[in-house]
Structure 1
Amino acid sequence: MKTAARLIAASLALAALSGCGLRPLYGGGTRGPVQSMLSGVEVAPIPGEAGWLVSNAVRDRIEATRGGTPVYRLDIKLDDRIEGLGIRADDVVTRQRRTLRARYQLVEMATGQVVLDATAGSDAGIDVAGSEYATIAAERTALERLSGIIADQIVARLARYALADKAAPASEQ
């Protein structure tokens, strides 16, 4: 009896959910509006180690190596900081916070118009070890992790832009 009630409740919940207007972000696969737009994005070079990591992470996520003529250029400016947080009585730092912030602009290459201007950011805690090598390795690992997080945020925002841009002409009619 309880199983039947649960089955009915689950069926009703699914029926209600299907009418809420949710749709998959990458609907349509490689021919969908999101993937079509992302494959036309060229990531501009970003200086520095953090820039190299972020640009490669973004390229990996948007599959920018598929070729074709780029329609958009993605300009990214990074702000990478490390600050000491845990300071002992003898002024030795025991904990650091690495913060990586990105301001990015999606530029339509044909017109030079900025069509999207947004920011992304994250931070990570780092334990400062007695070994300088271990601390440097922890800082590097934090930068790699933050670069992936920033790239995920940027690509998610570009995907939302692609869906909104596709939906705009239909809503104007």
Structure 2
Amino acid sequence: MTKRFLAAALLLVPLTGCGLHPLYAGGAGGGVAQALSGVEVAPIQGKAGWLMGNALRDRLAASGTPQYRLDVKLDDQIAGLGVRRDDSVTRERRTLRARYQLVNLSDGSVLLDATAGSDAGIDVITSSEYATIAAENTALENLSGIVADQIVAKLALYARRRLPAR
């Protein structure tokens, strides 16, 4: 029994120096969460922008006086993929790309300039235009959440490395 315990303890020793640290250490009071709470989301154009703005605000949980502004420009595209012999589309791909900048409100400097994006496949129902429109809207809602997650993850990494806690 002692040999097994000793062997297990020796196997755990290399893991202590692996360099991994929790990103959100300290929970809502931690440095990353506090830095992210100082980010306000600038208005974003269109329906996709409204969805993206809400998703970002939900994830950032801004509070107090903002120190940073997140500017986002979206590119939302739908392209036909599957085509029948009669040239009707059977499948679409919706792509949502975001170029975003984190701006320091005190001096207007751009701290982070990056992109995020994702895409989704949509079946086109030729017998029901409503079903196709509903699928396109659902894809946009899902893509907004996915891209917002990517943006917040990048902001959190940046905040951990460079931004002071509030």
The answer, yes or no, to whether TM exceeds 0.5 is yes
Question: How far did residue 4 of structure 1 move?
Answer: 8.5
For 1:88 and 1:70, the matched residues in 2 are separated by 52
Answering whether residue 72 of structure 2 is matched by residue 72 of structure 1, we say: no
Question: How far did residue 82 of structure 1 move?
Answer: 0.1
Question: How far did residue 126 of structure 1 move?
Answer: 0.2
For 2:104 and 2:7, the matched residues in 1 are separated by 48
Matched residue type, 1:43? V
When residues 10 and 120 of structure 1 are mapped into structure 2, their CA distance, relative to the original with a 3 A threshold, is farther
Q: What SS does structure 2 have at the residue aligned with 1:138? A: helix
Question: How far did residue 15 of structure 1 move?
Answer: 2.7
Deviations 1:23-80 (A, max 9, x none): 000012222121011000000010111001111101111112xx31000000000000
Q: Partner residue of 2:95?
A: 99
For 1:135 and 1:50, the matched residues in 2 are separated by 17
Counterpart mapping for 1:157-168 below 5 A:
157-165=154-162
After TM superposition, where is structure 1 displaced by more than 3 Å over at least 4 residues in a row?
3-14
Matched residue type, 1:120? A
1:136 to 133, 136, 143: 133
1:154 to 151, 156, 161: 151
Q: Percent identity?
A: 68
Question: How far did residue 18 of structure 1 move?
Answer: 2.0
**RMSD over aligned Cα, in angstroms?**
1.9
2:29 to 12, 28, 31: 31
Question: How far did residue 6 of structure 1 move?
Answer: 7.5
When residues 90 and 15 of structure 1 are mapped into structure 2, their CA distance, relative to the original with a 3 A threshold, is same
Matched residue type, 2:25? G
Matched residue type, 1:144? E
Question: How far did residue 8 of structure 1 move?
Answer: 5.9
For 1:113 and 1:132, the matched residues in 2 are separated by 46
More helix, by proportion: 1
Q: Give ranges in structure 1 of 5+ residues lacking alignment.
A: 168-173
Relative to the length of structure 1, the TM-score reads 0.88
For 2:93 and 2:24, the matched residues in 1 are separated by 34
Relative to the length of structure 2, the TM-score reads 0.91
For 2:139 and 2:117, the matched residues in 1 are separated by 13
Q: Give ranges in structure 2 of 5+ residues lacking alignment.
A: none
For 1:159 and 1:140, the matched residues in 2 are separated by 29
Deviations 1:88-112 (A, max 9, x none): 1100000000000000000000100
For 2:4 and 2:122, the matched residues in 1 are separated by 47
Matched residue type, 1:30? A
